[in-house]
Each structure stands twice: as structure tokens, then as C-alpha cells.
A and B are shown apart, each in its own frame.
Chain A
Amino acid sequence: AQSVTQLDSQVPVFEEAPVELRCNYSSSVSVYLFWYVQYPNQGLQLLLKYLSGSTLVKGINGFEAEFNKSQTSFHLRKPSVHISDTAEYFCAVSDTGGSYKLIFGSGTRLLVRP
């Protein structure tokens, strides 16, 4: 079984400052890793995913994440945030064996202040 822990429920940050949203996972099997964003009253949108290869993954809207297998982490970063980045961010995993489901973390609310 897999589980995902997002250590911060809310992260306040000033506009143009860098941000890191933390994600740790637990799994006895190989996993794929994802970050999704949810804006108010909307569904989830994929920001980026790690399947294999380079551990540094670049996504949309200037976000990137680094897969660290030894620390079982997949932290999301952005060097300079905008007001429009205010949203809920979810880290998720799925096993590579074909369970066809995503296991989500509890989410981190990013609040960007002017």
C-alpha cells in the first residue's frame, strides 16, 4: 500500500518570493509521482509528473519538482510565485503495477500575498 504525506497544510508567501511545497511518500513498490493543482471551484490540473529518468522534473507555470528516492520525497518548487498561484496543491502517487488509481496527500494551500 502507498501513502502520501504533505507536511504543510498551508504555506503563506509573498509575491515574487520562492516557495517549496513538501511531499513525502511511503510505498513498498515502485511508484509514479504527480503534483496537481486545484483552483477554487474547479477540478484538478496536472502540474508535472515523474515516471522515470531525470529526477528533476519541470512542469507548467514555472513549477519543478525533484524526486529523491533515498528520502522518498517529491518536493515542488517555484523560484518566484505570483498572486495567481494561490490554490490548493496535491501530491499523488500511483504504483507502477497497474492499480489504475491515484493516492493523494491531504493537500497544501498556497497563499500568495501582495
Chain B
Amino acid sequence: KAGVTQTPRYLIKTRGQQVTLSCSPISGHRSVSWYQQTPGQGLQFLFEYFSETQRNKGNFPGRFSGRQFSNSRSEMNVSTLELGDSALYLCASSVNGGTGAEQFFGPGTRLTVL
């Protein structure tokens, strides 16, 4: 069974631009979560989607948004990029997102904002 895939793997943008990252969960998984990983702040939860509905959101500004499609694939969008948005963005999927469920992580998209 294929793992979680994220595209693109690397991305370079300039301040003020917007970016869209994509995540394809493991087949059969309906929950997708997004995390931001930076050296300073560590791993921080962005949001979680299940059956196209956002069930929880972390403490990030409104410039960060996401959505999930009927096939469970998910995208996250960051508008008006800032230098501080440079990070590794990780996507994780699980069968139903229950709090004890194992989350399977993708390799991440490394975003660099210049």
C-alpha cells in the first residue's frame, strides 16, 4: 500500500506570493492533518480534515487555509507569504482521525520564502 505522498517536495517562493501544497493520504484513510515544522517552534498543528470537513484548527493566522476533496486528498494554501513561513510542512493521514489512531506522515514539503 502506498504511503502518504506530498507534492511538491521543495518549493521556493518570495514574500507576498501565495502557495498551495498537496497531500494524498493512504488509500482508505479519511482523515488528513497538517503540521508545520520549524527549528524555532518545532512541530505545530495547523488543521485536520475528515470527510471534507475541518474538525480542528491550530493557532495560525487566517493566511493559512486548507480543504479536503471527496477522494480525501487535501490541499493547504498560504497567502501573502512571510519569511517566517519557511518551514517543512507535514501531512499525516489516519483511517478516521480518532485521537488514539496512528497517524502516518508524508515526507513533507519544504517551503523556502525569500
Contact = CB atoms under 8 A, between A and B. Distances in A.
Interface of A: 32, 36, 41-46, 49, 51, 90, 92, 94-107
A32 B94 CA distance: 16
Contacts of B45: 101-103
B42 A100 contact: no
Contacts of A41: 107
B90 A94 contact: no
Contact of B99 (A36, A43, A96): A96
Interface residues of B, number: 26
A100 B100 contact: no
Given A43-B108, A100-B33, A103-B45, A32 B99 contact: yes
Nearest to A92: B43
A101 B48 contact: yes
Contacts of B43: 90, 92, 102, 104, 107
Nearest to B44: A104
B84 to A, nearest CB: 18
Interface in B8-27: none
Interface in B85-114: 90, 92, 97-100, 102-108
Interface stretch (B50-58, B64-72, B73-81): B50-58
A45 B56 CA distance: 22
A101 B100 contact: no
A44 B4 CA distance: 11
Contacts of A46: 102-104
A106 B42 contact: yes
A101 B107 contact: no
Contact of A100 (B99, B104, B106): B99
Given A97-B99, A100-B55, A104-B44, 15 more contacts: A36-B105, A41-B107, A42-B107, A45-B105, A49-B100, A96-B99, A100-B31, A100-B56, A100-B98, A101-B48, A101-B58, A102-B33, A102-B35, A102-B43, A104-B42
A104 to B, nearest CB: 4
Contact of A43 (B44, B50, B105): B105
